[in-house]
Structure 1
Amino acid sequence: MAASAHVRILDQRTPQERDRPFLPGAGKTWLLPFYDLFTRIAGVGALHERVVKIAGIEPAQAVADVGCGTGNLFFAVLAAQPSARVTGLDPDGDALRRAARKARRRGVAPTLVQGFADRIPAEDASLDHVVSSLALHHVDDDGRIAFARDALRALRPGGRVTVVDFGGPASRVEHAGHPTHRHGHRPGHALRQLTRLMRTRVGESPVVARNHGDGIVTLLADAGFDDAREVAHADHRLGRLTFVQASRP
């Protein structure tokens, strides 16, 4: 596709949703310009590649990335399967505009939609995959339940949802095995301090607590998905991550 790929941002929010609050991907709106740099340094790209591999996306399949932010997960989808038909959904218009600029530079044209996780922009039974990375813990209890139910609606029979997020059966041990260097100011010291702070916040967050144990597995099973299970986990520098997958019956 040409580098001048046309990328539009569709707004599916209702008038009542214009002022609906949300938690930005970087935690604070002013941190957005640093988000891609930090996630790159933190090695989040490898997590996205793993999600794509676990999902098993095939050529020309329809994929919705829920909570896409600046687009890093759906860019990993398109890198693996350039013919995939990708839609990115996020409530953060600034993040979507950043994703659009990145898409134009890459010469790809995903569909970008400003909206919330509880209303996936797809017809009934029209998607092959719903994927999400480090976004579900930003969604409140009602929104999580609505997301799971709407993903079930939007997926075709046999379609899969694949989620990576903080939490999982061993999520309360996320501080183990990561020593802190207490002397000197060697390169990377500031990054270590920042990641340590983020790990602490993740470990103490009541939002992430919803994902502890089998929280995401139970969420998907209760919505009606088949075979919801943790398929992998990772002790990442940002915290304990769980990869969960389920299929629509």
Structure 2
Amino acid sequence: MSDQKEPHDLNDESALKQPAIDSPMTTRRGVRSFVLRQGRMTEGQKKAYERSWPKFGLSRENGVIDPRQVFGRDAMLNLEIGFGMGRSLAEMAEAAPEQDFIGVEVHLPGVGALLKDIEDRGLENVRVYNIDANDVIDLCLPDACLDQVMVFFPDPWHKKRHHKRRLVQPEFVQRIRHKLRVGGILHLATDWENYAEHMMEVMGESEGFANTQEQGAYSPRPEYRPVTKFEKRGENLGHGVWDLLFHRTN
């Protein structure tokens, strides 16, 4: 049900034979924000990438960015980590032209698909990184620059022995905290109940964050978060989705 793609053998180089400004591999050790996946860009995705990456793409080589220079204005800034094929990000950006959005995704077909969607919708308020989100956090964003960070349906690593690979961990949350302004929102969503419980435990114990709902309570899905096709399919099967919204307190 989740819109995450299946992992593949990391020795399979087929997924890396696409043009990219940066290698998606992280420069830091520890939990990565992604698993490399199979898949080649379609011709349409490749052409959109070639046309639009120079305008909308951001690189690790850019170093720490000034969002006001990147977007040419001072506006509410959102970061989505792991946008998949990008449809939800494009829908959010189209619905809120007064806000700016940065998307992070290592899967090149997803980057190409988002760039095509950006072209089709005529969007100007989206920029894209094709590198590990850890590098975006550590090397590319100034502190307290973000109004919202969104992590929707990350890999649940549902087997207990793999839980340590889950992205949402205390150390990751604290690094995100420093990039959020005080009052900024960390919005997590998952369709795995066990991962939702894990997220709630991590966030409930995280310094500098408070639940926007009652303690230990999940949030109703905000109107701005689009319902994905996988989510609709899951709802039809009786599956649940859990949203967590926590704001930075200090």
How is 1:36-185 mapped onto 2 (pairs within 5 angstroms)? 60-109=75-124, 110-119=126-135, 120=137, 121-137=140-156, 141=164, 143-145=167-169, 146-167=171-192, 171=193
Q: RMSD in angstroms over aligned alpha carbons?
A: 3.3
Tell me the alpha carbon deviations over residues 141-173 of structure 1, each in whole angstroms, 9 at most, x when there is no partner: 353224322221110000001122113xxx3xx
Length-normalised TM-score, structure 1: 0.57
Deviation at 1:85, TM superposition (A): 1.0
| Pair 1:29-2:38 in alignment | yes
Match of 2:55 in 1: none
Q: Using a 3 Å threshold, how does the CA distance of structure 1 residues 161 and 86 change in structure 2: closer, same or farther?
A: same
Deviation at 1:14, TM superposition (A): 5.6
Q: Is the 8 A contact 1:118 1:144 kept in 2?
A: no
Q: Using a 3 Å threshold, how does the CA distance of structure 1 residues 16 and 148 change in structure 2: closer, same or farther?
A: closer
Partner AA of 1:80 in structure 2:
A
User: What is the percent sequence identity of the aligned residues?
Assistant: 16
Q: Using a 3 Å threshold, how does the CA distance of structure 1 residues 242 and 12 change in structure 2: closer, same or farther?
A: same
Q: Secondary structure at the match of 1:247?
A: strand
Structure 1: where are the runs of 5+ without partners?
Answer: 1-8, 34-58, 172-208
Q: Secondary structure at the match of 2:185?
A: strand
Length-normalised TM-score, structure 2: 0.56
- Distance in 1 (alpha carbons) for counterparts of 2:113 and 2:176: 25
Match of 1:230 in 2: 218
Deviation at 1:113, TM superposition (A): 0.4
Q: Which has the higher strand share?
A: 1
Tell me the alpha carbon deviations over residues 99-127 of structure 1, each in whole angstroms, 9 at most, x when there is no partner: 11221121114110022243434211100
How is 1:199-218 mapped onto 2 (pairs within 5 angstroms)? 209=194, 211-212=195-196, 214-218=197-201
Q: Is the 8 A contact 1:65 1:132 kept in 2?
A: yes
Structure 2: where are the runs of 5+ without partners?
Answer: 1-19, 43-73, 222-230
Aligned length: 169
Q: Using a 3 Å threshold, how does the CA distance of structure 1 residues 159 and 15 change in structure 2: closer, same or farther?
A: closer
Q: Using a 3 Å threshold, how does the CA distance of structure 1 residues 69 and 10 change in structure 2: closer, same or farther?
A: farther
- Distance in 2 (alpha carbons) for counterparts of 1:140 and 1:32: 31
| Pair 1:245-2:234 in alignment | no
